[in-house]
Structure 1
């Protein structure tokens, strides 16, 4: 594995000449087509000792390989957007960098790499999203890569990872995570996940427009009567209403009280304790449950909006989630949001919401 590499700042307005010598113009054009700054873009560079001083400095002399890498803040992965020049050397450098940073995994977008070359570097292919192509057409966004790859440390990873599904609206994240959980449990066929399915479940669970934890748990029980469902919410007060006041807040609070009555009638337990990260990891690992968890996007995306993610795997120091939304304007694709490892401390902080810092979660068992 390459041990000599340099990590340099990324500046799409001034490509170093050494990078221009080894990267195709169309690759550089794609790199600079979006503002990647929210996700800490970096160049991992391998010096070659030729044509210049060879020290891989900021002047860009003597590069044999380079990779553009990015990652969401508060997560435990790094993504190779492209590797250019001596591609195996560039990937080895990124792997060495990830190992030094103690990251949970490395991802690779399939813009320019073949499946054979990715496999030779130890990367496994990701299944294409169920909605591949649809989300870009509806959102007028650039198309994502037609393939993606992931490399876990030896002996770690997620067995039989699910395909990715992106929510088709800005408000159906709760419904999508529930559908993904049931599909992963083998209860729902993957081909049944579509816009009609997510909107139908959202309509049953919504507090307009958000899905609050108790209402979501009740909707899951109604949709799948034999499912083992448990809600954790460490407050008796209405949630997700901090930005509202007056009548707009009051009628949504009425609906949340009705959800608690529905939970009692349908036998969905609502635990008033805060679900700990230890309890969350145990639920996923030992009890084989899926956890729908409310988080704020402030850390990962820069705006404090409540959002549901599906927690479905654990690795040392991190929980693996599916995020049904990604920010294409910042250079994200489905490769970022799929199999997303979030360190325990980050997940603990981002899942405390609102002025009262409460945590909401819906646990769905294998039944």
Structure 2
């Protein structure tokens, strides 16, 4: 994308959005034809706010354009839900607001955005999800295997603009496809499939529910996918792929939520996964995987399946697999196969998601006993000529 010439931005008004307690704010926005969608869900966990552009007569109550903006906590982006009134002025105000915060990215849900307005503002369309938006998932409290099925009803389209050094910038190369997990326990399998699709090893059209469940079945520790079992399943599925498991504890993991009798046989399966890893030549690196090492792997165009807690981003202390696939200044770009419909979160949030380095470092220290687990996937060797 060529650099976008920035239009002058009028003074920006930023106010919190609380749909159930701000009737005066909504009345002020009424002449801008505010979508009912703004009040349809409780977005409070994602810091919703209005970014508005005042009129030329300096009347603070006369807004010519406004946007509803939100973002997952601990991340490096803002998301425009809708822009109303003078759409282009409102979007320019959001971009300026994001720059003021040193963020890496602005996204724009495609509910009402036109492709012409998006292009004029320097946004590019994101690849639509391979799974329909209403096939994504919701969390189960206390479940340590990942989120559970639900209804997200996300937009059909979404747009993104990357912000580096004061100008629009190309995103990390080779945008991966987006696929939302269709069960509450298949996040690990989905991230592995996304990594292979992004690397060109798996055709995107092959990433479907059959593939999702088949890989999960080979990797599962019932119901979770623990790091060693997931690494072994990836090597079995793609024997020529370089796979390294990173796990900085020498014991079974993801079992502390289960009663003792349930832990025992799953621990046995995890020990068997280590035996299989040794047999297949999958190294298990017991050193702590630093953020610097993750960024170095991504600079080499490798992929890192990273086990994180959703406590910071979503408010649920649930272990969950995400795919790390790119870097931008100050943040790692991930794919999250799950979005929280209840918080107004959609695939637009979860796709090409920049997470600040320090935040990701905290998220990736999992469980009360604080371990880090990951699967690093390298390139398959080039075929002999």
* Residue 58 of structure 1: aligned partner: none
Q: Is the 8 A contact 2:149 2:184 kept in 1?
A: no
Pair 1:89-2:99 in alignment: no
- Measured in 2, the distance between the counterparts of 1:140 and 1:254 equals 32
- From 234, 237, 242, the equivalent of 2:248 is 234
- Measured in 2, the distance between the counterparts of 1:133 and 1:275 equals 33
- Measured in 1, the distance between the counterparts of 2:33 and 2:326 equals 36
Please, which runs of 5 or more residues in structure 2 have no aligned partner?
Answer: 1-7, 138-147, 381-385
Instruction: Give how far 1:326 is off.
Output: 0.3
- Measured in 1, the distance between the counterparts of 2:183 and 2:238 equals 23
- Measured in 1, the distance between the counterparts of 2:133 and 2:198 equals 22
CA deviation map 1:112-171 (0-9, x unaligned)? 111111001100001110012551699562521121000012345222312210000011
**Which aligned segments of 4 or more residues in structure 1 are displaced greater than 3 angstroms?**
136-140
- Measured in 2, the distance between the counterparts of 1:3 and 1:170 equals 45
* Residue 361 of structure 1: aligned partner: 374
RMSD of Structure 2 on Structure 1 (CA): 1.5
Please, which runs of 5 or more residues in structure 1 have no aligned partner?
Answer: 56-60
- From 150, 159, 178, the equivalent of 1:164 is 178
* Residue 68 of structure 1: aligned partner: 68
Q: Is the 8 A contact 2:331 2:354 kept in 1?
A: yes
- Measured in 1, the distance between the counterparts of 2:352 and 2:265 equals 37
- From 52, 59, 67, the equivalent of 1:54 is 59
* Residue 192 of structure 2: aligned partner: 178
| Aligned pairs for 1:71-220 within 5 A | 71-133=71-133, 135=135, 141=151, 143-153=153-163, 154-220=168-234
- Measured in 2, the distance between the counterparts of 1:348 and 1:256 equals 25
Instruction: Give how far 1:244 is off.
Output: 1.7
| TM-score normalised by the chain length of structure 2 | 0.90
SS in 2 for 1:160: coil
Q: Is the 8 A contact 1:124 1:149 kept in 2?
A: yes
Instruction: Give how far 1:185 is off.
Output: 0.8
CA deviation map 1:217-267 (0-9, x unaligned)? 000000111010001100101111121231111111101100000000010
- Measured in 1, the distance between the counterparts of 2:293 and 2:136 equals 37
Q: Is the 8 A contact 1:156 1:315 kept in 2?
A: no
Instruction: Give how far 1:23 is off.
Output: 2.0
Question: After the TM superposition, which of the residue ranges 338-347 and 235-244 deviates more from structure 2?
Answer: 235-244
- Measured in 1, the distance between the counterparts of 2:53 and 2:97 equals 12
- From 268, 272, 296, the equivalent of 1:258 is 272
Change (3 A) 1:202 1:265: same
